[in-house]
Structure 1
Amino acid sequence: MKEISCKLLVIGAGPGGYVCAIRAGQLGVDTVIVEAGKPGGTCLNVGCIPSKALIHAAEEFEKVAHMAGGKSPLGIAVSAPVLDLGKTVAWKDGIVSRLNSGVAGLLKKAGVKTVHGWATFRDGKTVEVETETGSQVIRAETIVIATGSAPVELPFLPFGGPVISSTEALALSAVPKKLAVVGGGYIGLELGMAFAKMGAEVTVVEALPRVLAQYDAELTRPVVKRLAALGIEVMTGAKAKGLSTQGQAGKGDALLVETADGKNAKVSADKILVTVGRKPVTEGWGLDQIDLDRTGKFIRIDDQCRSSMRGIFAIGDVTGEPMLAHRAMAQGEMVAEIVAGHKRNWDKRAIPAVCFTDPELVTVGLSPEEAKAQGEIKIGLFPFAANGRAMTKLGEDGFVRVVARADNHLVLGIQAVGQGVSELAAAFGLALEMGARLEDIAGTVHAHPTQGEGFQEAALKALGHALHI
């Protein structure tokens, strides 16, 4: 059995793991990274990147279909479009492949040794990796657990056959005629809206009273309006109960649902996409051999991502919410620098969250309700209906909202909903991280004509002197 030793061992080459390994390598730390699949993890291979590729393709198809229907206000008319989803998926796979190669190249450039296989803990300093060529033992001074998360499977709707997770949804060769989506969170709505644009008849089943419940109702209202415009049926307060085979030729399967009024219903569907959340991947790694403290299902960490066992760190989704790739990346970079002897800790004021629905949602920091719980606040809201750039992009539905303390105008939270607002996340995050006040944002010259002007105008509105509304 082969044995190697290193200063740092990273388990998992997702966004957190590979960033940690690259930064450690840059700092001269002898680093090994173990990954059973392809580099990039869920985000790159079956999550963030491929889903955004599919969403973009769906948006482009819908634009052309709209033009073909003679409904475009731009005066553009085209023939009826045809979608070859197989080619779309092949294009998406090409992007993923290029990024896989890019991550592998960056690891190599940083001097990181990559071991392909499944790692299992023997003790707090040693893991055994099952590779294609046999077992390999790796001994390390420090270990970083970056094993990520996986889709939650419902016991009464196990994955298989017509029941799929987001992973299978991103690899379909044809658009299903009827798609039932169980779960009205960001993943379900992102993919549900994309397939609706590509021609699927979509029904969303959500157990809570409204979809996107993690956001406030004012922020999600434009998304709910768009769901209706796309012909997506939304069943709120409804609980999926299981699968029923209708037994009629050509009718396929149906999703059994208990509606909000307690009645039973059937939702006919060719595919049933289950998106009810994600769970940390903590099984199969031999974590029972090292007995780490947990917070629920997640590994408990401190403000330096240290676990309860000396010399073992944990980063990313396996450590809990928010389960976001950029959080994992920031944690990975920090841990690498700590291992290299730098003084670092986790002191982020805000982590942006983006929902790539139509229109998009961005939140940073505290919501109005969360901010109110801390004291008196000021809120400034600027609608994109008054923004020239948004109007020229047919993206007038939405707004930017700034939440600040009433006494010293310190910005506590920023939210936006609208076409392309994901690109404003950087400005929002920077403002909170640097401790901006309303006057700082209002006094910054924003380029015209851009949607970013809405950010400045929202701050001006909170100060009582918006210029364009």
Structure 2
Amino acid sequence: MNTEIMELVVIGGGPGGYSAAFRAADLGMQVALIEREETLGGVCLNVGCIPSKALLHVAAAKEEAERLSKHGIRFGAAELDLDALRAFRHDTVSRLTGGLAQMARQRKVQRIIGNARFAGPNVLHVEDRAGNVSAVSFQMCIIAAGSSPIHLPFLPDDPRIVDSTGALELPFIPKRMLVIGGGIIGLEMATVYSGLGARIDVVEQTGGLLAGVDRDMVGIWMKRNSHRFDRIMLSTRLESVEAAPEGFVARFNNGHEPATYDLILQAAGRRPNGDRLSLEAAGLQSNGGFIAVDSQMRTAQPNIFAIGDVVGQPMLAHKAVHQGHVAAEVAAGHRAVFEPLVIPSVAYVDPEIAWVGLTDDAARQDGIEVDVGKFPWAASGRAIANGADYGMTKLLFSRETGRLLGGAMIGPGAGDMLGEICLATELGADATDIGRTIHPHPTLGETIGLAAEAAMGSCTDLPPIPFLCPRQ
């Protein structure tokens, strides 16, 4: 068995893993990066957030072209070229993975392709695709092993039953598609396939879609997307799926009629990959695949760190990147901690929903009194001109301290604008700080300032609030 000795080994080449490896190399460490796939980028870049956004862009552009007929511009019927669409998705991913490979070479990060398992607190065994096993000894290690889709055991083994990875391959455009799970992944894929012509049913065990998202935003989204779905079956369980010549017959509880589908998407969540690493050999334990860490991302073994999906929710690439930087800096002897006040989230559906921090429901559950500022985009000239007057910006401020505790937006570019709300929350801004910051006009971003003004009762772009305006 071949043996290599490294100062730092990173397990996993996703956003968190390669960010940790590159940061450690920039700080002068000798770094090896172990990744089971040929390319870096992990699920997010190769079979997740990046290819899905490429397809969402195409689907949104097609639907926007159709909506423009109401504004005086008419196009012919759209023609769908699946091969060209697949090529666009592939080229988008290849451009980014190629850039990562080049940056790894520039930093002299040694790449090792294979599956890693611990053989001790300072040793990994790495098995390549040919079954050959090599040993890698390390002084320090960062676990960035990510997560995998949950597969429902009662579903038939059939290529027409896919997870998010299979759905992004665009095997074909079905006439009818069943999405199992009403979370972000399921609804993003529903948006893509609906935009390309499929009729969609969604089955969700809980009582609502997009759990954890501000209910005002979800309500607006559901109203805007009623045309996509034949059925949204909430508080419902998929009981069985049987293969039939014309597709799959799915049966549900709660009184819903069986239906036949050409394609079924499993989007029932993801589980961390911690249990795949033989953690016990390194003296570590996991809780359902999750690994406990402190604010410096250290595990119970002080020379082993963990970041990203394997350390807990939310399973988001941008969280993993920041944790990777902290772990790398601590491994290199620098002082760093991961202590964010908030971690933003975006659902790249149509229209886009973005949120961060506290929601109304969470505030009520925690007994926190808040003042809410809402600005409907129906009062925004830019939103009306863009056909986005359905949108909304919402901010929540602590009634006790006045500080911003969270916010949410729905509409075009919501995710791009959310950064201002994140920064304001981290800096402890209040409604006056945000409302008196001059925002450019006419923009969608100025709705953040206007929502803060609404919370103060000083917004002149909305009707007056009687109890704040005594002289009428």
Aligned counterparts of 2:160 and 2:390: Cα–Cα separation in 1: 35
Letter in 1 for 2:378: A
Counterpart for residue 206 of structure 2 = 208
SS at match of 1:349: coil
User: In 2, Cα distance between the equivalents of 1:232 and 1:330?
Assistant: 40
The two structures have a TM-score, normalised by structure 1, of 0.94
Counterpart for residue 43 of structure 2: 42
Contact 1:54 1:92 in 2 (8 A): yes
Aligned-partner Cα distance in 2 for 1:287–1:127: 10
State the distance in 1 between where 2:415 and 2:82 align: 25
Q: Does residue 366 of the first structure (1) align with residue 358 of the second (2)?
A: yes
Structure 2 partner of 1:109: 106
CA contact (8 A) 2:51 2:168 kept: yes
TM-score under structure 2 length normalisation: 0.94
For the Cα contact (< 8 Å) 1:14–1:146, is it kept in 2? yes
The structural deviation recorded for 1:17 is 0.3
Shift, 1:363, TM fit = 1.0
| Stretch moving more, 329-338 or 85-94 | 85-94
Code of the aligned partner of 1:48: C
Q: Deviations over 1:90-132 (max 9, x none)?
A: 1111110111111111122222111111112111111121235
- Which of 283, 286, 307 is the aligned partner of 2:278? 286
For structure 1, the residue ranges without an aligned partner over 5 or more in a row are none
Structure 1 position 445 matched with structure 2 position 438: yes
1:252 aligns with 2:218: no
Task: Supply the RMSD in Å over aligned alpha carbons.
Answer: 1.6
CA distance in 2, matches of 1:323, 1:268: 33
Aligned AA for 1:422? G
Residues 272-421 of structure 1 mapped to structure 2, 5 A cutoff: 272-372=264-364, 373-421=366-414
Q: Deviations over 1:253-299 (max 9, x none)?
A: 1222113xxx3531211111010100001243222322423344311
Larger deviation: 372-381 or 328-337?
372-381
**Letter of the 2:252 counterpart:** V
1:2 to 2:7 alignment: no
The residue identity in structure 2 corresponding to 1:50 is: P
Compare 55-64 and 353-362 and name the one that shifted more.
55-64
SS in structure 2 of the partner of residue 294 of structure 1: coil
Cα shift readout 1:5-52 (whole Å, capped 9, x = no counterpart) = 111100000010000000000000111100011200000001100111
Maintained 8 Å contact 2:354/2:409: yes
Q: Which residue pairs with 1:60 in the alignment?
A: 61
Equivalent in the alignment of 2:82: 85
Q: Decide whether aligned partners of structure 1 residues 128 and 294 sit closer, same or farther in structure 2, where only a CA change above 3 A counts.
A: closer
Residue 159 to residue 108, structure 1, CA distance change in 2 (3 Å): farther
2: distance between equivalents of 1:340 and 1:81?
54
SS at match of 1:394: coil
1:343 is paired with a residue whose SS is coil
- 1:227 and 1:264 map into 2 onto residues whose CA distance is 21
Question: For 1:153 and 1:131, how far apart are their aligned partners in 2?
Answer: 25
3-state secondary structure, aligned to 1:73 = helix
- Show the counterpart of 1:13: 13
What residue identity is the alignment partner of 2:161? V
- Determine the C-alpha separation between the residues in 2 that align with 1:284 and 1:347: 28
Question: Contact (CA 8 Å) 1:61, 1:83: kept in 2 or not?
Answer: no
Structure 1 pair 255/323, CA: closer, same or farther in 2 (3 Å)?
Answer: same
Which consecutive residues of structure 2, in runs of 5 or more, have no partner in the other structure?
463-472
User: Helix, strand or coil: the match of 1:153?
Assistant: coil
Distance 1:415 1:205 in 2: 25
Q: Contact 1:180 / 1:267 at 8 angstroms: preserved in 2?
A: no
> Contact 1:222–1:359 (CA<8 Å) still a contact in 2?
no
**2:416 maps to which residue?**
423
Measure the CA separation in 2 of the matches of 1:216 and 1:10.
Answer: 36
Q: 1:88: Cα distance to partner? A: 0.7
More displaced stretch, 326-335 vs 375-384: 375-384
Match of residue 73 from structure 1 = 70
Residue aligning to 2:468 = none
Runs of 4+ in 1 over 6 A off after TM superposition: none
Letter in 1 for 2:11: I
Where does residue 190 of structure 2 map in the other structure? 192
Measure the CA separation in 1 of the matches of 2:276 and 2:430: 48
Distance 1:159 1:167, change over 3 A: farther
Partners of 1:240 and 1:374 in 2: CA distance: 36
Moved more, 412-421 or 371-380: 371-380
Alpha-carbon distance change, 284 to 195 in structure 1, aligned in 2, over 3 angstroms: same
User: Could you tell me which amino acid in structure 2 is paired with residue 313 of structure 1?
Assistant: F
In the alignment, structure 1 residue 99 sits paired with structure 2 residue 96? yes
Contact 2:249 2:258 in 1 (8 A): yes
Which is worse superposed, 46-55 or 222-231?
222-231
**Inter-CA distance 414–231: structure 2 relative to 1 (3 Å threshold):** same
Percent identity, please.
Answer: 36
Amino acid in structure 2 at the alignment position of 1:59:
A
Distance 1:132 1:242 in 2: 35
1:226 aligned onto 2:218: no
Q: Is the 8 A contact 1:86 1:173 kept in 2?
A: no
Local SS of the residue matching 2:8: strand
Partners in 2 of 1:196 and 1:264 — Cα distance? 22
Greater Cα offset, 422-431 or 288-297: 288-297
Aligned pairs for 1:153-168 (under 5 A) are 153-157=151-155, 160-168=158-166
Q: Which residue of structure 2 aligns with residue 181 of structure 1?
A: 179
- For the 8 Å contact 1:257–1:267, the answer to whether it is kept is no
1:179–1:203: 8 Å Cα contact kept in structure 2? yes
Q: Distance in 1 between matches of 2:438 and 2:225?
A: 35
User: What is the match of residue 448 of structure 2?
Assistant: 455
Say how many residue pairs are matched: 459
Letter in 2 for 1:352: P
Q: Structure 1 residues 335, 65: closer, same or farther in 2, change over 3 A?
A: same
CA distance in 1, matches of 2:214, 2:65: 33
Are the equivalent residues in 2 in contact too, given 1:84–1:174 (CA < 8 A)? Answer: no
